[in-house]
A and B are shown apart, each in its own frame.
Chain A
Amino acid sequence: MADKSDVWLGTLSLMILTTLETLGPLHGYGIARRIEQTSGDVLSLNYGTVYPALLKLEQEGAISSEWGLSDNNRKAKFYKLTRTGRRRLERETRDWEQTTAILARFLSPIQGA
């Protein structure tokens, strides 16, 4: 387990938003699978934790949901980005890039010198 990372607090919603932007409307299972795959199976993710995060995003108005049919003709609840969600994703991506850039500079000080 030590080589697998827990999902960082607060980053899960960003991952969900990115997934929805890349893949379009998707159900909870699909989102969980995608996050796991994209991380190259480095993240240890309980699929169940996706749902409270989805609910929170929906309560905040970043995503909306409706029932639809999956690829295998199974009934499933699909989530999609709202306009608020798209704006939020842009903002949070920018913030995230800034933070990582700053951190990167701290972590490799020799290059700057």
Chain B
Amino acid sequence: MKKLRALWMRLCGMVDGKDADEEFAAELESHLQMHIEDNLRAGMTPEQARRDALIKLGGLEQTKQSYRERAALPSLHRLLSDMRYGLRQLRKSPAFTLTAVMTLALGIGGMTAAFSVVEAVLLRPLPFKDSDRLLSLHEQLAHDSHELRVTAPDVLVFQRQSKAFSGMAGFIAAGYEVNGAGAPFRARAERVTASLFPVLGVEPLLGRTFTPGEDENAAPVVVISCALWKERFQSDPHVLGKIIDLDRRPYTIIGVMPEHFAFPINAGRLSHQDLWVPMSFSPVEKKSEGDNFDYSLVARLKPGISEAQAQTDIDRVTAGIQASYPVDSNVQLHGYFRRLKEETVRNASPLLRMLLAAVSLVLLIACVNLANLLLVRAAGRRREFGVRLALGGSRRMVLRQLLTESLLLSVVGGTAGIALAVLLVHAAAFSLPDSLPRLGEIAVRWPIFAMALGLITLTGTVCGLAPALAAINTDILDSLRDGSQSSGQGRSQHSLRSTLVTVEVALATLLLVASGLLLRSFARMLETDPGFQPQRVLTASLSLPTHDWPTQQKVDDFYRQLQQNLESLPEVKAVGLSSNIPIVGQNSGRLIAPEGHVASPGEGLLITSNYLVQGNYFQAMHIPLIRGRYFDARDEQQGAGLVAIISQSFAEQYFHGRNPVGLRVKVGPHFDTPMPAITVVGVVGDIKQGPLDQPTVVQMYEPVSQTAADLGPLAGMIGVVGTMDVVISTEGDAATLVTSLEKTIHRLDPLLAFSGMQTMDEIVSATESSRRFNTVIVSVFATLALLLSLLGIYGVLAYSVSERTREIAILMALGAPRTVVLLRTLRYALMLTAIGVAAGLLASIGLTRFLYGLLYGVKLLDGVAIMGTVFVLFICAALAGWLPARRAASLAILAPFRECM
């Protein structure tokens, strides 16, 4: 209490220091007078009396000093005065201060924002209990490069036989038409085994999750998401027990999950599930051994079990599965795992790694630039420091002063940077591409804030230290002498500055090359022909519940009716339906055996992407016919011959240039099987099944009405295909057709929900967003880096010109033409640039790590990108050098001499 009070008084003492000083002077004065009077009375002479009083006091100034120190807090006092002085100095040169603060704000702001994104997406643990113990299991077939998950029967096998895990759960995405909760809609759903929620360690917000009994007996129960509960049930606390229809079958709501719960965590903003239903494998699923590796398996490691032990356990189980296959099936199976976290963020990491690398480079450039600015400034203030040292200031004081100044700059710049980061992070929530998971969780958090503060302090100290050390090594006499600029000290500082500029240029080169490569990739991607015309095409996804459409015949009839109704609209040109659409279509790979195909050694099984189509799909998508014919009404008739249309690359790769029209293929590994033969009737152009920058896959099309017949004995595996994308090509703007499509669908069935209504243009553009984001970000950073390094070149040159005014003037007095002076100065700028560019290009070889997987259609050593970078840098460097060079050349010859007279 006593101490606190004293501290408070001392803090107050700092504020009214001046008054207190005066008062104490008066008190001491009265003390001395009283003492002197006493001494006089004791018989001393006036001089003796005064001297004795002063001696007894112990020195006037010393007493005042120790009093002052007690009155306030001396170290804080010094710091405040240093800061006051620093602020005054910074105010005196607003251009320098502004540049430095902005440089820092950009560097630190960018870094904080980028790190916030990285932290939320890559580093933060998944929001499940002990999430680092959760693994995702995979099966892999030998000779198959596709990444697989596990089959439905193997989910059960793993659950029964593995010993290294305390729990295991299978899940697979599903979609349901939902009725009974407001307007009908299509829900994103997940079929999950009852063990899922316990394995994740997540409790529902309301009610309960599934029991194993409900899972086994296909009980119609559903757990809904918090968002669905709020939107469709207005957060009704009595929602449990209510019935909703999923695909026209009644389900009872038994639980509501907590807010923000999502499983699995998918990429993108609109990827959160609306509901979860029990897995309840169907008899067909339970039998589909060795087929359809689409089921995911998440497992929790038992306490004390290592990942190596887990792998051994997985190997044991997969060996058992392998042994259960027929001997002649030739299937080579093995299993592996990934941490769930890694699985979730895998696809995001190349993008974020590059983001972080680019931001780090910019921060580095910003730091170098700041150090350079401080150096130039310190050099300009050598005389000031000389004076201070000559007047008895200690080197430590000067150092402290300089460090205070640079820290002050860092704090102001850093604060601005954090404000910038908050803005950027808000913007990022909207502009980051949908290829990233966990976008909703991005925010500037305390650890990041602490990191930013750490960065600020570090930059402040590092950037301040070098110039400060240089400044205090000043030779006092030298710095006070006139025209000392050309001393050895100046020269060594000058070379340090030149080195810093070279480093800046090198870093900028690195970023410019990266940006050039990404820009070229993006241009290549835009140039890529998707194989169809996305303009004026509208699509929507429809799913007919098997409850009301139990047979393929009924489904086909519905879609035929829809097609006819739509085609009767005046603005519609063609309507088709397909099980998949390009660019975003799931690739349903199918083993295919062409007639007469001789496998070359080392060639694996032939796989093709397979779309089931109906109506005028090719006409609606404008996929060009190369040979033969499109499908027509003949093919959809009962008992029609089995037909297929293949893509050009299919024809080239699997038929080796033979005319495929009239040739036959069979589904399966060999042509020599009891499977029915399918005749190729046409060849069409290749399409991009995935995003434009992904490789084209060979493609086959079949009439959806023939699906069952094509598969012969395996028809049961597919069941009824009720989910189709409708594709409509129009005369005018596709988007205006939205309401007509809605009306047409609801006239046929008012309960039917559909989703994903988009124009093909929107679909194509959405998949470009990730690359567009990359390219824009890196280009912005590269521009920033370029600007910063130009500022550096300009600063160094301008300073060196002002340093050498006399040298230049003598040159000109001796008759050197102005152009020579101009060129000499410019040459220096270009030399610095050349060294920097060379170093930068060498370093850009190391870019591979960061750009791997981000380039498309360009090589890492792309001539255009490199030449472009070199060109841009030299032009800009010449511009930055031009101004100081001109100033040098236009110096009045006599001015520098007048200065020193």
Contacts and interface: CB of A to CB of B under 8 A. Distances in A.
Given A48-B63, A51-B63, A60 B34 contact: no
| Highest count of chain B CB atoms <10 Å: which of A48, A52, A60, A72 | A48
Contacts of A4: none
A43 interface: no
B827 to A, nearest CB: 66
B738 to A, nearest CB: 78
A52 B13 CA distance: 13
B31 A55 contact: no
Interface string A48-91: 11011001101111000000001010111100000000000000
A70 B37 CA distance: 12
Interface in B311-348: none
Contact of A60 (B6, B27, B63, B66): B6
A5 B67 CA distance: 23
B34 A70 contact: yes
Interface residues of B, number: 28
A83 B27 CA distance: 24
B706 to A, nearest CB: 98
B9 interface: yes
Contacts of A29: 30-31, 34-35
Nearest to A55: B70
A49 B24 CA distance: 13
A46 to B, nearest CB: 3
A47 B5 contact: no
A48 to B, nearest CB: 3
Interface stretch (B52-60, B282-290, B578-586): B52-60
A29 B70 CA distance: 19
Contacts of A58: 9
Nearest to B56: A47
A52 B70 contact: yes
Contacts of B784: none
Contacts of B66: 48-49, 51-52
Contacts of A76: 27, 30-31, 34
Interface string B50-81: 00000011110011001101110000000000
B2 interface: yes
A48 B62 CA distance: 8
B33 interface: yes
Contacts of A74: 30, 33-34, 37
B400 interface: no
A109 B66 CA distance: 43
Contacts of B27: 28, 51, 76-77
A72 B58 contact: no
A58 B27 CA distance: 15
B6 A56 contact: yes
Nearest to B37: A72
Contacts of B63: 48-49, 51
Interface in A29-54: 29-30, 33, 46-49, 51-52
A47 B55 CA distance: 9
Interface in B1-44: 2, 5-6, 9-10, 23-24, 26-28, 30-31, 33-35, 37-38
A75 B28 CA distance: 11
A77 B30 contact: yes
B67 A51 contact: yes
B351 to A, nearest CB: 60
Nearest to A30: B34
A55 B67 contact: yes
B70 A56 contact: yes
Contacts of A30: 34
Contacts of B33: 74
A107 B2 CA distance: 34
Interface centre among A51, A60, A77 (most CB of B within 10 A): A51
Nearest to B69: A52
A58 to B, nearest CB: 8
B67 to A, nearest CB: 5
A74 B29 CA distance: 11
A47 B58 contact: yes
A27 B70 contact: no
A27 B31 CA distance: 8
A33 B2 CA distance: 28
B446 to A, nearest CB: 37
A27 B6 contact: no
B629 to A, nearest CB: 102
A48 B57 CA distance: 5
Nearest to A28: B31
A75 B10 contact: no
Contact of B71 (A33, A55, A61): A55
A60 B28 CA distance: 22
A75 B58 contact: no
Nearest to A70: B34
Contacts of B59: 48
A46 B57 contact: yes
Contacts of B38: 33
A72 B33 CA distance: 11
A58 B70 CA distance: 11
A52 B65 CA distance: 10
Nearest to B53: A47
A50 to B, nearest CB: 9
B665 to A, nearest CB: 98
Contacts of B57: 46-48
Contact of A51 (B5, B9, B24, B56): B24
Output the residue of B31, B35, B63 with the most chain A CB within 10 A: B31
Nearest to A56: B70
A77 B28 CA distance: 10
Given A28-B31, A74-B34, A46 B56 contact: yes
Nearest to B66: A52
Nearest to B4: A60
A49 B58 contact: yes
Contacts of A61: 2, 5
A56 to B, nearest CB: 6
A47 B38 CA distance: 14
Contacts of A59: 5-6, 9-10, 70
A58 B6 CA distance: 8
Contacts of A52: 66-67, 69-70
A60 B35 contact: no
A49 B64 CA distance: 10
Contacts of B9: 58-59
16 contacts: A30-B34, A33-B38, A46-B58, A47-B57, A48-B59, A52-B66, A59-B70, A60-B6, A61-B2, A70-B30, A74-B37, A75-B30, A76-B27, A76-B30, A77-B27, A77-B30
Given A48-B57, A72-B37, 10 more contacts: A27-B31, A29-B34, A46-B58, A47-B56, A49-B66, A51-B66, A52-B66, A56-B6, A74-B34, A77-B23
Interface of A: 27-30, 33, 46-49, 51-52, 55-56, 58-61, 70, 72, 74-77
Those 10 A-B pairs whose CB atoms lie nearest each other, nearest first: A46-B58, A48-B63, A48-B58, A59-B9, A52-B70, A59-B6, A29-B31, A48-B57, A76-B30, A29-B34
